[in-house]
Amino acid sequence: MAHTILLTNGTVVTPEGILEKGEVFIEDGMIQEVGTSIKRQANQQIDAQGGYVLPGFIDMHIHGASGADVMDATEEALQTMADVLPKEGTTSFLATSMTQAPGAIEAALKNAAAFTTKPGQAQMLGVHLEGPFVSPKRAGAQPIEYICPPDAEQFDAWQKAAEGKIRMVTLAPEEENGMSFIRKLAAEGIVASMGHTNATIAQMEEAAEAGAVQATHLYNQMSPFHHREPGAIGGALLVDELCAEVIADFIHSHPKAVELAYRVKGADRLILITDAMRAKGLEPGEYDLGGQPVHVTETDARLSDGTLAGSILTMEHAVKNVVRTLGISPLDVAKVSSGNAARQLGLAKKGSLIAGNDADIVILDKEWTVMHTICGGVIGYEHNGKS
């Protein structure tokens, strides 16, 4: 018999607006109906108790969680990430690599290619290749010794190892071959995202004309804004073709800087990400990122020289931060936490609560705490402790 769920009594956020006392009917992993008086019987019923019902969060930029890292290149690491992410409302993610020796990157890609998501887990949508095609002048926590200019031949070899699962690449457009590499990515339907870049605003504009569509962790490891040279930050904000990722932990960027991004880019071109590393969800202490020691406190993760090394942010807290500080509406929350990422990645059946879409759903109470997460029609997390 088909597995069915009827979700009732929710503040359901749809692309057309908010349904008070809304309902969602799920069958075999798909949303079959969204409305206010659904006349169908279900095997399972969930009372949303008036809470917000949104499309499940999509994290396009995450390196690790709960002791696991994509660069571990093990099935266990990806299983751990897929298991724990529903707790923060995330129903799908891009496994994000980082600058390392070519062999280490290849091993991580082969591991991702072989990975299969289990029912109730966050779905690994593919890989975000962050580096090594970045600027050594804006390395941040990317190991500088492995940084190199964009290399189409090397990328093709890696994409083969990944069995076509590389969906997004962070690169510096100003580096040698940068613009031609962007044209190649765009032609192959891969998200070209400008990050770890020392580009001028003119180079950012040229990159967008070549097919770049995104800016990686806005403000961080980008040439700064100056009134006589607006730099990569100015380009990320002003070039309409670019969506911008934001790490809304208010450590990577001041709350007013996040507000500026929201005002300039608008809810349709801002994407919440975590950029989380393996210490997310664990106690403060000593960890590593890309083979480099990282000191983790209650609030952040840094290299020995003080450089930020990813975050320990959850998507749940990113949402809470932008709601409480910027006062953004539930409709806009759905866009910045899910809808925009789905559009960027060409995921026609994710990112919005409409009939025919995947049943990837998060239910949050009025304080924006995650109460239930449904991944592909299977409950992946319940706030009462069961998962």
CA angle 356, 360, 364 (to 5 degrees): 125
The verdict on whether 275 is a catalytic residue reads yes
Q: Is-cis flag, bond preceding 224, omega within 30?
A: no
C-alpha–C-alpha distance, residues 75 and 165, integer Å: 16
Ordered alpha helix ranges (H), 198-352? 201-210, 231-238, 255-265, 315-326, 330-334, 340-344
In the numeric block, which tokens belong to residue 290? Answer: 């890309």
Amino acid at 378: V
- Selecting among 59, 69, 249, 275, the annotated active-site residue is 275
Tokens, residue 258: 């996040």
Residues in Cβ contact with 240 at an 8 Å cutoff, skipping those fewer than 6 apart: 269
3-state secondary structure 18-68: EEEEEEEEEECCEEEEEECCCCCCCCEEEECCCCEEEECEEEEEECEECCE
Residues 344/330, Cβ–Cβ less than 8 Å = no
**Nearest residue to 307 via CA among 141, 173, 161, 158:** 141
Q: Which residues are catalytic?
A: 275
